[in-house]
């Protein structure tokens, strides 16, 4: 306990040195050159724009949250046998183990990166099911030890496997919580035009080096027989439904009755003999019965074509939809420039060649749009309520505007913090910026309130602002530093669970550090600049006045004195 007073004295001496020797001289210089101090933010804005253009500060809609698994989803042409699917998956599995040997040799600790592989036949993460679908799930070394993102492993595995001609679609990436980064819906009522547009766009997207795993939803289905009636069939009173029904009865069969034998129920089906339905040529020889009981060869009444059907029909906004999706080759790349390039391709190379086709950006683009609407509405309401409260406290609209003008400058600090940490600005960063706004406003209110108190006590404007800044330096710094340092462990955390929170923490911590610096210098200078503008305005329309008399705090004090004098006189 004997050392406590000495420690306290040293801390107090350090704070006094910071206040009197460092802050006071620089603050006085900033206030004397108030116009230079006030226009400095313009240079900061230009610098920030340069950071964005140069790629120092990245932007994406949602953060990349890595996992300890990697999914490879496969879809062959509909109708392929399970053995074909398993053969392709086995080829990929073999390549995965070869990749593991390479990765293990590259590591200093010699640990396996791929710990196990699970194979699943009959379904995949596309929502498809059938013998033509399947997936592999690679169990990976824990992320903190692995020190390699899954998308890098997926890219290397894709390069090792190479093209798979029989694959209709294949992806080497995990599904994300926020949807596909690239997801476009082509909408229209003409299926031929939609298919043409999807083929054109697919060809263009596959040429993008920044994209991988490009998939399209209008995948060809099983082979189907498309029957078309000839005029003679219609003259005999036959409909397409009746002809197709008789073809189905002959080749697939039809249940005619059920027989109960003990506890078992036996279904009786009738259809052609195996030798009469073994080949497609048997269709032309089958007999079609007319309503009057006559029979004619199928070839006289109808023709047929063998085509690929569709596996599914999607609709969006009451129109047929063909969805094209893709992943980024490098998830750290900025997404908006890629989307802008795709938009240019659509407008110049795809849409001019088709009719009646519209485009809608889905996936993360749609999620970002919804988040922006929600954030904008909530943030706007919060700002309006806080502005009203500040106006009620200070009884001055201009002082409230002065307080709120610091928010954009604090946001600059939040943006720079993302660049320093190597984290792209995303939607979650915006939540942190909203929290940052409240803290900056609170610190500004503390300083403005002290300035008003000093003015009421009779100090000149310059000294009132200067003394208020020195007096409030300690509480403002304590608030900012304790909050920022408290968030430091979260910002430096490498665990996967913390990845959602890190962008918000960066926004608050860096924005608060930079915002506090701006607050301590810019707010006093801006207050003096605002006072000078008030004086000039009054002198232009009336008589000469002093800087103190134009301040709301002094006016309120004088009004109170006059009111008290009048009450006493009565």
Domain of 356: which CATH number? Answer: 3.30.70.1440
- DSSP H helices, 226-280, are 231-235, 240-251
Please write down the HEC assignment for all residues of 178-219. Answer: CCCCEEEEEEECCHHHHHHHHHHHHHHHCCCCCEEEEEECCC
| Count of the separate structural domains present in the chain | 4
Residues 170, 31, single domain; the answer is: no
- What is the greatest pairwise CA distance in the chain? 123
Residues 340, 246, single domain; the answer is: no
Residue 481 makes CB contacts below 8 A (sequence gap 6+) with none
Residues 437, 561, single domain; the answer is: yes
Residues 514, 439, single domain; the answer is: yes
User: According to the model, what pLDDT value does residue 399 have?
Assistant: 84
Q: What is the mean pLDDT of residues 45-67?
A: 75
Q: What is the enclosing helix (H) or strand (E) of 76?
A: strand 69-76
Q: What is the mean pLDDT of residues 495-524?
A: 85
Residue 514 makes CB contacts below 8 A (sequence gap 6+) with 409, 410, 412, 413, 414, 416, 417
Q: What is the pLDDT of residues 249-300, one digit of tens each?
A: 888 888 888 888 888 888 888 988 888 888 887 888 888 898 888 888 888 8
**Helix orientation angle between 427-456 and 461-471, rounded to the nearest 10 degrees:** 130
Residue 513 makes CB contacts below 8 A (sequence gap 6+) with 413, 480, 484
Residues 388, 522, single domain; the answer is: yes
Residues 103, 234, single domain; the answer is: no
Cα–Cα distance list, 412 to 47, 371, 416, 510 (Å): 10, 21, 6, 9
Question: Higher pLDDT residue, 435 or 144?
Answer: 435
Q: What is the enclosing helix (H) or strand (E) of 398?
A: helix 397-404
pLDDT at 394 over 80: no
Residues 168, 281, single domain; the answer is: no
| DSSP-based three-state secondary structure for 116 | strand
In a domain, 424, yes or no: yes
Instruction: Please state the pTM of the whole predicted model.
Output: 0.67
Count of all residues that appear for the chain in the document: 570
Dihedral angle at the C-alpha atoms of 241, 244, 249, 252, nearest 10 degrees?
-130
Determine how β-strand 264-270 pairs with β-strand 254-261: antiparallel
User: According to the model, what pLDDT value does residue 310 have?
Assistant: 62
Domain of 34: which CATH number? Answer: 1.20.1640.10
pLDDT at 567 over 70: no
**Torsion over CA: 537, 538, 540, 545 (sign):** negative
User: According to the model, what pLDDT value does residue 110 have?
Assistant: 84
Residues 199, 256, single domain; the answer is: no
| DSSP-based three-state secondary structure for 288 | strand
Which residue, among 288, 215, 214, has the nearest Cα to 250 in the 3D structure? 288
Residues 517, 538, single domain; the answer is: yes
Q: How many angstroms from the chain centroid is the CA of residue 331?
A: 12
Residues 464, 523, single domain; the answer is: yes
Q: How far apart are CA 532 and CA 400, in angstroms?
A: 17
Residues 160, 186, single domain; the answer is: no
Average pLDDT, the chain: 82
pLDDT at 564 over 50: no
Domain of 110: which CATH number? Answer: 3.30.70.1430
Cα–Cα distance list, 445 to 395, 508, 509, 520 (Å): 13, 18, 20, 12
User: According to the model, what pLDDT value does residue 2 have?
Assistant: 46
Among 332, 360, 388, which residue terminates a domain? 360
In a domain, 123, yes or no: yes
Using a 10 angstrom Cβ sphere, with 0-12 exposed, 13-18 middle and 19 or more buried, the burial of residue 269 is: exposed
In a domain, 298, yes or no: yes
In a domain, 4, yes or no: no
In a domain, 133, yes or no: yes
In a domain, 512, yes or no: yes
Whole domain around residue 142: which residue ranges?
66-175
Among 329, 360, 391, which residue terminates a domain? 360
Among 328, 360, 392, which residue terminates a domain? 360
DSSP summary character for residue 121: E
Q: How far apart are CA 63 and CA 506, in angstroms?
A: 13
Residues 350, 460, single domain; the answer is: no
Taking residue 397's Cβ as centre, other Cβ atoms within 10 Å add up to 12
Q: What is the pLDDT of residues 408-457, one digit of tens each?
A: 888 888 888 888 888 888 888 888 888 888 888 888 888 888 888 888 88
Domain of 260: which CATH number? Answer: 3.30.2090.10
CB of 158 closer than 8 Å to CB of 198: no
- Min mean pLDDT across 167-171, 183-187, 222-226, 289-293 is at 222-226
In a domain, 1, yes or no: no
Question: Higher pLDDT residue, 41 or 506?
Answer: 506
Q: How far apart are CA 152 and CA 299, in angstroms?
A: 58
| Local confidence band at 4 (pLDDT 50, 70, 90 cut-offs) | low
In a domain, 35, yes or no: yes
């Amino acid at each position: 306990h004997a050392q406590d007073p000495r420690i306290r004295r040293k801390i107090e001496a350090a704070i006094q040195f910071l206040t009197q020797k460092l802050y006071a001289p620089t603050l006085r210089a900033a206030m004397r050159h108030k116009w230079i101090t006030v226009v400095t933010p313009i240079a900061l804005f230009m610098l920030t724009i340069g950071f964005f253009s140069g790629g120092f500060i990245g932007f994406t809609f949602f953060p990349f949250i890595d996992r300890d698994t990697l999914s490879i989803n496969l879809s062959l042409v509909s109708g392929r046998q399970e053995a074909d699917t398993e053969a392709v998956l086995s080829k990929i599995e073999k390549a995965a183990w070869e990749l593991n040997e390479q990765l293990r040799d590259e590591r200093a600790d010699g640990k396996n990166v791929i710990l196990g592989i699970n194979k699943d036949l009959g379904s995949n993460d596309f929502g498809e099911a059938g013998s033509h679908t399947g997936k592999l799930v690679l169990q990976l070394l824990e992320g903190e030890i692995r020190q390699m993102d899954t998308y890098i492993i997926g890219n290397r595995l894709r390069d090792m496997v190479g093209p798979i001609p029989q694959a209709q679609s294949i992806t080497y990436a995990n599904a994300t919580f926020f949807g596909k980064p690239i997801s476009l819906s082509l909408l229209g009522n003409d299926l031929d035009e939609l298919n043409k547009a999807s083929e054109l766009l697919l060809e263009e997207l596959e040429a993008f080096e920044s994209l991988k795993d490009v998939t399209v939803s209008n995948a060809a289905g099983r082979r189907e027989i498309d029957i078309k009636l000839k005029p003679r069939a219609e003259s005999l009173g036959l409909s397409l439904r009746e002809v197709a029904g008789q073809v189905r009865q002959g080749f697939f069969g039809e249940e005619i009755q059920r027989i109960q034998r003990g506890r078992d129920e036996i279904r009786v089906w009738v259809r052609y003999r195996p030798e009469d339905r073994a080949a497609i040529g048997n269709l032309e020889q089958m007999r079609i019965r007319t309503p009057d009981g006559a029979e004619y060869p199928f070839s006289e009444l109808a023709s047929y074509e063998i085509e690929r059907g569709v596996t599914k029909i999607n609709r969006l906004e009451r129109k047929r939809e063909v969805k094209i999706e893709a992943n980024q080759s490098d998830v750290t790349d900025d997404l908006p420039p890629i989307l802008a390039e795709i938009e240019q391709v659509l407008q110049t190379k795809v849409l001019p060649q088709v009719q009646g086709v519209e485009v809608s950006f889905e996936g993360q683009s749609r999620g970002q749009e919804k988040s922006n609407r929600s954030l904008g509405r909530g943030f706007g309401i919060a700002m309006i309520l806080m502005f009203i409260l500040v106006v009620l406290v200070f009884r001055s609209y201009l002082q409230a505007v002065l307080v709120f003008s610091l928010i954009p400058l604090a946001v600059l600090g939040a943006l720079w913090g993302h660049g320093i940490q190597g984290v792209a600005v995303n939607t979650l960063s915006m939540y942190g910026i909203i929290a940052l706004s409240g803290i900056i406003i609170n610190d500004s209110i503390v300083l403005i309130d002290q300035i008003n108190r000093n003015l009421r006590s009779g100090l000149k404007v310059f000294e009132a602002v200067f003394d208020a800044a020195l007096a409030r330096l300690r509480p403002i710094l304590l608030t900012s530093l304790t909050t920022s340092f408290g968030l430091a462990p979260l910002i430096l955390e490498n665990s996967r669970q913390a990845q959602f929170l890190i962008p918000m923490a960066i926004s608050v911590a860096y924005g608060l550090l930079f915002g506090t610096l701006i607050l301590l210098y810019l707010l006093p200078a801006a207050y003096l600049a605002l006072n000078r503008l008030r004086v000039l305005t009054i002198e232009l329309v009336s008589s000469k006045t002093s800087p103190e008399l134009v301040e709301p705090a002094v006016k309120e004090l004088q009004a109170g004195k006059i009111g008290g004098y009048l009450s006493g006189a009565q």
